[in-house]
Amino acid sequence: MAKNTLRVGLIGAGGNTRSRHIPGLQEQQDVSIDVVANRTVESGQRIADEFGIARVAESWTDVIADDSIDAICIGTWPYMHAPMTIAALDAGKHVLCEARMAMNASQARKMLAASRRNPTRVAQIVTAPHTLGVDRTIAEMIGAGAIGKLITIDARVTAGSNFPNYDSPVHWRHDRDLSGNNIMAMGIWYEGMMRWVGPARTVHALGQSVVPYRKSEDGRRVPMSIPDHVDIIGKLEQGGQMRFSMSTVSGHAPSNADVYLFGTEGTLHVHVDKAGKFTLSAGTRDDDGLKEVAIDPAKAGGWRVEEEFVNAVRGIEPVTHTDFATGVKYMEWTDAVTRSLRQGEAVTLP
């Protein structure tokens, strides 16, 4: 094995880790995943056997304490992100942490503080990938004046939505003790929209648990405290407003997502059909309507999380998707949504 091999320890191996992070890291030159720790030694051994990982650790602390490991890939649920990330950074390891960043903004800020006191260590959050193909084009069009001054961004997201299923099982995303203040896929869409129009200044949210109880694996009736339908309005830091609806209980929704950016001189429309295909359309006040925008392949981004992480460790490029400062911003917004839902009033972001 090459002398400059980057040796990675894997903590947690959920679906995204198995489908993306492990193959993505193994595709990089001179990178070796040397050890894995999962919820049990038995499940860790299954991952090791499937992907050819040499060792299985009994505990995540053993992976972080291993002096032969240079970097940690954290693929657990959000409730463990902060303690694992902070411990790894303070142990001198580079960290690639699965999204969502943390349970709440307080934990996220502690993670950011840990990265800043270890400035030679790379700290990266797995990016929100869905808008990568259109992000640069949208940002450049807005910057070039295609819509003039933003009036509002109007988003409706119903990907994976259907009529309420009152017999549906509990998922970890339904459990506040595991997921924290994260709600459905709300945070990843906000992260994408921040790339276009910047962060929010205020939040006023309404939400409901249309399915008030779900069934646990042992048949228990579990009350739901995380909404399955939310409507959010707010002001944006750079001017303009936001209206954002997200639901997993809307039957016969016509698309996975529709996002309109209405401006004083033009409009942009991001449409995601039921098959997941993205289409960007645009029109100015002088046009008859919206027309599809051809995305320059050179400007169409894509998934390269593991490549970016490895390159950042080797000093080839900085982390852009997603750095910890950006992660804190979307966690602050997520917290603001939660506070507004509970208090029934507008909340101003930090």
In tens, the pLDDT along 49-75 reads 999 999 999 999 999 999 999 999 999
324-343 vs 105-116: helix crossing angle, rounded to 10: 160
Over residues 299-320, mean pLDDT: 97
- Phi/psi for 244 (5° steps) reads -135, 120
Residues 115, 33, single domain; the answer is yes
Taking CA 58 as the corner, what is the angle to CA 55 and CA 62, rounded to the nearest 5 degrees? 80
Helices (H) and strands (E) in the chain, counts: 11, 17
Residues 173, 103, single domain; the answer is no
pLDDT band at 282 (very low <50, low <70, confident <90, very high): very high
What's the CATH number where 121 sits? 3.40.50.720
In tens, the pLDDT along 199-249 reads 999 999 999 999 999 998 888 999 999 999 999 999 999 999 999 999 999
**How buried is 63 (Cβ within 10 angstroms: 0-12 exposed, 13-18 middle, 19+ buried)?**
buried
**How buried is 256 (Cβ within 10 angstroms: 0-12 exposed, 13-18 middle, 19+ buried)?**
buried
Model confidence at 3: pLDDT above 80: no
Residues 147, 255, single domain; the answer is yes
Inside any domain, residue 339: no
Inside any domain, residue 143: yes
Over residues 305-322, mean pLDDT: 97
Model confidence at 14: pLDDT above 90: no
Model confidence at 272: pLDDT above 50: yes
Inside any domain, residue 80: yes
Inside any domain, residue 115: yes
**How buried is 163 (Cβ within 10 angstroms: 0-12 exposed, 13-18 middle, 19+ buried)?**
exposed
Per the structure, how many domains does the chain have?
2
What pLDDT score does 1 carry?
46
pLDDT band at 93 (very low <50, low <70, confident <90, very high): very high
Inside any domain, residue 211: yes
In tens, the pLDDT along 165-213 reads 999 999 999 999 999 999 999 999 999 999 999 999 999 999 999 999 9
Residues 155, 52, single domain; the answer is no
pLDDT band at 2 (very low <50, low <70, confident <90, very high): low
Inside any domain, residue 330: no
What pLDDT score does 217 carry?
87
What's the CATH number where 244 sits? 3.30.360.10
Taking CA 196 as the corner, what is the angle to CA 191 and CA 201, rounded to the nearest 5 degrees? 65
Residues 23, 36, single domain; the answer is yes
Residues 154, 199, single domain; the answer is yes
Residues 124, 173, single domain; the answer is no
Residues 193, 291, single domain; the answer is yes
Share of the chain above pLDDT 70, in %: 99
Q: Which domain holds residue 113?
A: 6-128+304-319
Token readout for 346 is 């507008």
Inside any domain, residue 324: no
Inside any domain, residue 172: yes
Residues 90, 173, single domain; the answer is no
In tens, the pLDDT along 24-48 reads 999 999 999 999 999 999 999 999 9
Over residues 329-344, mean pLDDT: 97
Residues 136, 277, single domain; the answer is yes
Residues 64, 147, single domain; the answer is no
pTM: 0.95
Residues 93, 224, single domain; the answer is no
